Amino acid sequence: MVFDVQAARAEFPILQRQVHGKPLIYLDSAASAQKPRAVIEAMTRAMENSYANVHRGLHTLANETTDAYEAVRRKVADFIGADEKEVVYTKGGTEAVNLVAQGLGMSLSPGDEIVLTEMEHHANIVPWHFLRERKGVVLKFAPVTDEGVLDLEAYQGLLTDRTRVVAVSHMSNVLGTINPVTDITRMAHEAGAVVLIDGCQGIVHKPVDVKAIDADFYVFSGHKLYGPTGIGILYGKAEQLAKLPPYQGGGEMIGTVSIDEISYADPPHRFEAGTPPILEVIGLGAAIDWLAGQDRYAIAHHEAELYRHVRERLNGANWLKVIGDAPDKGAILSFTVEGAHAHDVAQILDRYGVAVRAGTHCAEPLMRRFGVTSSARASFALYNTQEEADAFVDALLKTQAFFA
């Protein structure tokens, strides 16, 4: 299982860049990944050759664009093991969670319970808080151990006959922890709850089969999957989408409209009001095609090796606190450096050409759980090399020396 990282790297034009006179070492892919030439070219090609609004024209360009746009739905469906009618385009992972939360929220009553975890991104917390504020539902957060692992027993203990929804991340954007989403889903279903999995990070890490997980909803963003921003996917089981009220109203999501009444289109179009992100959908299709040509298990192995190498080199650094050391985790290193603010660490690393993120990572409950106000985060992607991992560690050692 060998992954040709140099061949893959060559597909990403931005990686040729220099930052402060140093080669760019991009370790912020968990926030947004860089794009291969295939994605850039597919979007440019569409704009240059075949672009119009979808669904509503009888002219050639409108038909070509509609075909290209709907073909991506089939591609996404194949990519995650779904039916194309179960694939809804959104503008990102965040919008997909909001769409589900608002729809399910319509039929929730005061005292109904929603179970989340302490490691959720705000995108999978705030939409449910809206339901606490507006509907009087109760939010419960399953705890995370010191190692950064979800406490499954405690999670099970939170499930009651009032649990209506369980919403859990597949992989934490801070800890890197990969959650046993199939078990989590089974337990939630036994309690009669509907399950949403936030796959924004998880789907990047490993191939996903939504039918094997059996969750009712699975959401992700295009831009972390080497595709463009402005496009997200909501997978919903056909029977769940059929029950879900529409999210936004406008063109394309209706059956008929009259002065007195309206009827809705069938899913997935019922949830896609207005002109959709056409070019972004085409870009996502190109990203999926590109990824399909790679050995994704070899990529996962490559990324795990980078993480292992960095951890090994930093072993024994008593000035370093690593947040999240689960046995099953993706290549994300969240850390604090003694005596230095995470923002300062990130800024100094930037002087060495190393791009990392610093802050709360939109996960304030998790930060509080680990007793920190912020952390720095290096996230590794398929295009990162062992040399880059070493350059990151060298730059981090110099950064620490600066503050010591």
The DSSP call for residue 24 is -
Binders of ligand PMP among 210-229, rule CB under 6 A? Answer: 221, 223
- CB nearer ligand PMP, residue 201 or residue 384: 201
How near is the Cβ of 151 to ligand PMP at its closest, in Å?
19
Catalytic center residues: 362
Report residue 396 as tokens. Answer: 């981090």
CA distance linking residue 207 with residue 130, whole number of Å:
32
| Residue 198 sits in the site that holds ligand PMP (CB under 6 A) | yes
Nearest in space to 331 (alpha carbons), one of 291, 377, 397: 377
| Residue 369 sits in the site that holds ligand PMP (CB under 6 A) | no
Binders of ligand PMP among 231-260, rule CB under 6 A? Answer: 232
CA distance linking residue 356 with residue 333, whole number of Å:
10
Q: Which of 201, 334, 379, 400 binds ligand PMP (CB under 6 A)?
A: 201
String of DSSP letters for 263-287: EEPPTTGGG--SS--HHHHHHHHHH
Site string for ligand PMP, 90-109 (x = CB under 6 A): --xxx---------------
Interface stretch with ligand PMP, choices 41-49, 143-151, 194-202, 271-279 (CB under 6 A): 194-202
Interface stretch with ligand PMP, choices 44-52, 117-125, 289-297, 384-392 (CB under 6 A): 117-125
Q: Which of 98, 102, 169, 399 binds ligand PMP (CB under 6 A)?
A: 169
CA distance linking residue 188 with residue 164, whole number of Å:
9
| Residue 336 sits in the site that holds ligand PMP (CB under 6 A) | no
How near is the Cβ of 138 to ligand PMP at its closest, in Å?
22
- CB nearer ligand PMP, residue 174 or residue 395: 174
| Residue 167 sits in the site that holds ligand PMP (CB under 6 A) | no
How near is the Cβ of 96 to ligand PMP at its closest, in Å?
8
Site size for ligand PMP (CB under 6 A): 16
Evaluated on CA atoms 233, 234, 237, 238, the torsion sign reads: negative
- Count CA atoms closer than 13 A to 235's CA, side-chain side: 31
- CB nearer ligand PMP, residue 230 or residue 353: 230
- CB nearer ligand PMP, residue 200 or residue 291: 200
| Residue 177 sits in the site that holds ligand PMP (CB under 6 A) | no
CA distance linking residue 223 with residue 355, whole number of Å:
17
Residues 6+ apart with CB under 8 A from 386: 305, 306, 309
Can you list the alpha helix ranges (DSSP code H) found in 106-251?
A: 126-135, 152-158, 181-190, 202-205, 210-213, 238-243
Evaluated on CA atoms 88, 93, 98, 101, the torsion sign reads: positive
Would you tell me which residues interact with ligand PMP (CB under 6 A)?
31, 92-94, 121, 123-124, 169, 173, 198, 200-201, 221, 223, 232, 362
